[in-house]
A and B are shown apart, each in its own frame.
Chain A
């Protein structure tokens, strides 16, 4: 349904042009949840904004690639046509629900506004109540009359999901939708997304830095590092047997039941900026199995591996865990 090919995003900084997303490809099918994970600054949000051609900064733009949605290439569209696609064919929700809601307008009217903006005045009220009910909000009619500040963070996020789905889009892009919520509220939202995926046959692109959230919600996973996808696989395989040292390191940094301060693992160093991108493999300055001559000449391509999935490591699969060198 959604097919992103070789997407690049550029940010103009003075005279410089910074490539913050480079050659990213992925697809999302109907009824499928695809996770985009990686540390902050790896280009997850920029990739999502590119699909919508809606950047928070006027200096950012799509620099290359194609975005196919249900057989149509969005790259050729005019700004007006693209606006039609947003909302109608692609819904979106972001991390901080408060900043996307108007504090002075009852939330029901804000959901109705999405319908009206696309000329669906007929039966808007009824549709809003139906949507709020779909979001498992108790007494929809009552909730619709409330102002954002009268609702909890979790309820506000449900209102935004309702607005995003008002026009029955086939795809929902959710950028860190639960990061600002506490754990029990997060679990409710993730359950809701799963139910909507199955019941509405909705495709979901879920962007998060939380691997636990991905494990419980997504079927496919793409791991991003420094603007590129470094590993892609089906969720079970990726968690069972990550191949790229970066994926192995991310999984190793998660706090498990046996993690105690004193033995916590972390990947040394930090994500490079677009200005000081290392030559060759972008991860090589932090990699425990970096091999001079092999890893620092030319960027490794994303290679399909036998048995499924793909990754960008020249020593892919040599070690079960490169950080402990166990073969």
Chain B
């Protein structure tokens, strides 16, 4: 098998727990991520699911190099990230990009869309000025935003879905090989969500782009991912190939997640009602 682009080897993250009452007591540490290993290969989509607070984003931030692991190590193309410097460190920062749920909201409100997308081209790729304009247009095209209509607009003149696509264009500008996507489509309407998922899938096929896809939407997991990892309380509780895992989930949380996912079938209402009333002994 090829060398993974990005890899976490038994990483843990410890955070101090703050307690109001015991101001002077010794600090207790919480294992937000507890001994997790994961590898992401070129062109692969790895989904990461788990309940709120299970440590998904914390693992994502460690893989991005934003948070040094308390234990274990992160490897980029086989090399420990902690030891990278100079060109190698720059390459890591360029090739590993992130898209958040509200990536669009973090755009500079005074920069036009064109300027926002141009920034990483100038800084990360150091392209000459003439080349930048052309690349901005190609990127906007790729995310389905007509350059002539959108290049000169300001962020507030775009819908949420359009801003999210600008965020993705900006991440793509650096020509990444892997994107850590933390709930990138959960704030989007169904129709726009489908468009963005198609875009991400096309980039995976065309450029061997890989993703760590953090979400609790099992529809998204099924539509896009190859493998899925399930986290609970900082630990990996289940993992495997998507279709197999979702057909016969083993862990209680995975089963609960599957049962809780809304289905567009009003016939389920009767069952839900019985469940809601039964859940509470009178």
Complex: chain A residue closest to B45, CB-CB: A261
B198-A212 in contact (CB<8A): no
Q: How many residues of A contact B (CB 8 A)?
A: 49
Task: Tell me the residues in window 237-285 of chain A with beta carbons closer than 8 Å to chain B beta carbons.
Answer: 239, 249-251, 253-257, 259-262, 264-267, 270-271
User: In the complex, what distance in Å separates the CA atom of A22 from the CA atom of B162?
Assistant: 25
The stretch of A66-74, A114-122, A192-200, A299-307 that contacts the partner chain: A192-200
B220-A185 in contact (CB<8A): no
A39 within 8 A of B: yes
B251 within 8 A of A: no
A261-B262 in contact (CB<8A): no
Complex: chain A residue closest to B253, CB-CB: A184
8 Å CB contact of B52 from A152, A251, A255: A152
User: In the complex, what distance in Å separates the CA atom of A115 from the CA atom of B183?
Assistant: 38
Residues of A within 8 A of B269 (CB): 215-217, 235
A250-B223 in contact (CB<8A): no
A190 within 8 A of B: yes
A136-B262 in contact (CB<8A): no
8 Å CB contact of B222 from A187, A216, A257: A257
Q: Separation in Å of the A171 CB from the closest CB of chain B?
A: 20
Residues of B within 8 A of A255 (CB): 190, 193-194, 217, 219-220, 222-223
User: In the complex, what distance in Å separates the CA atom of A194 from the CA atom of B273?
Assistant: 7
A259-B219 in contact (CB<8A): yes
Tell which of A41, A182, A265, A271 has the most Cβ of chain B within 10 Å.
A182
A265-B194 in contact (CB<8A): yes
Residue-by-residue, is B261-272 near A (CB-CB < 8 Å gives 1, otherwise 0)? 111111111001
8 Å CB contact of B198 from A184, A264, A271: A264
B280-A136 in contact (CB<8A): yes
B268-A216 in contact (CB<8A): yes
Residues of A within 8 A of B259 (CB): 187
Complex: chain A residue closest to B157, CB-CB: A273
8 Å CB contact of B275 from A182, A191, A209, A259: A191
B276-A192 in contact (CB<8A): yes
Complex: chain B residue closest to A199, CB-CB: B277
8 Å CB contact of B159 from A40, A186, A187, A209: A40
Residues of A within 8 A of B279 (CB): 136, 191, 195
B161-A270 in contact (CB<8A): yes
User: In the complex, what distance in Å separates the CA atom of A278 from the CA atom of B271?
Assistant: 43
Q: How many residues of B contact A (CB 8 A)?
A: 48
> In the complex, how many residue pairs between chain A and chain B have their CB atoms under 8 Å apart?
142
B263-A216 in contact (CB<8A): yes
Residues of B within 8 A of A216 (CB): 262-263, 266, 268-269, 272
User: In the complex, what distance in Å separates the CA atom of A206 from the CA atom of B36?
Assistant: 40
Q: Separation in Å of the A321 CB from the closest CB of chain B?
A: 14
Residues of A within 8 A of B194 (CB): 253, 255, 264-266
User: In the complex, what distance in Å separates the CA atom of A39 from the CA atom of B160?
Assistant: 11
Residues of B within 8 A of A256 (CB): 219, 264
B256 within 8 A of A: yes
Q: Separation in Å of the A242 CB from the closest CB of chain B?
A: 11
B154 within 8 A of A: no
A254-B256 in contact (CB<8A): no
User: In the complex, what distance in Å separates the CA atom of A256 from the CA atom of B218?
Assistant: 10
B162-A270 in contact (CB<8A): yes
Q: Separation in Å of the B84 CB from the closest CB of chain A?
A: 33
A177 within 8 A of B: no
User: In the complex, what distance in Å separates the CA atom of A253 from the CA atom of B196?
Assistant: 12
Residue-by-residue, is A200-213 near B (CB-CB < 8 Å gives 1, otherwise 0)? 00000000011111
User: In the complex, what distance in Å separates the CA atom of A118 from the CA atom of B190?
Assistant: 41
A236 within 8 A of B: yes
B237 within 8 A of A: no
User: In the complex, what distance in Å separates the CA atom of A29 from the CA atom of B201?
Assistant: 45
Known interface pairs A212-B263, A215-B266; A250-B190 also in contact (CB < 8 Å): yes
Q: Separation in Å of the B47 CB from the closest CB of chain A?
A: 12
Complex: chain A residue closest to B160, CB-CB: A40
User: In the complex, what distance in Å separates the CA atom of A261 from the CA atom of B206?
Assistant: 14
Known interface pairs A194-B276, A257-B222; A183-B189 also in contact (CB < 8 Å): no
Tell which of A251, A266, A270 has the most Cβ of chain B within 10 Å.
A266
Residues of B within 8 A of A97 (CB): none
Residues of B within 8 A of A39 (CB): 189-192
A91 within 8 A of B: no
User: In the complex, what distance in Å separates the CA atom of A264 from the CA atom of B190?
Assistant: 11
User: In the complex, what distance in Å separates the CA atom of A247 from the CA atom of B160?
Assistant: 21
Chain A residues with a Cβ under 8 A of chain B = 39-41, 136, 152-153, 179, 181-187, 190-192, 194-195, 198, 209-213, 215-217, 235-236, 239, 249-251, 253-257, 259-262, 264-267, 270-271
Can you report 18 A-B residue pairs in the complex whose CB atoms are below 8 A from each other?
A40-B160, A152-B52, A183-B218, A183-B262, A184-B216, A194-B273, A198-B277, A210-B190, A235-B269, A250-B191, A253-B193, A253-B194, A255-B193, A255-B217, A256-B264, A262-B201, A266-B191, A266-B193
Chain B residues with a Cβ under 8 A of chain A = 51-53, 159-162, 187, 189-195, 197-198, 200-201, 216-220, 222-224, 253, 256-257, 259-269, 272-273, 275-277, 279-280
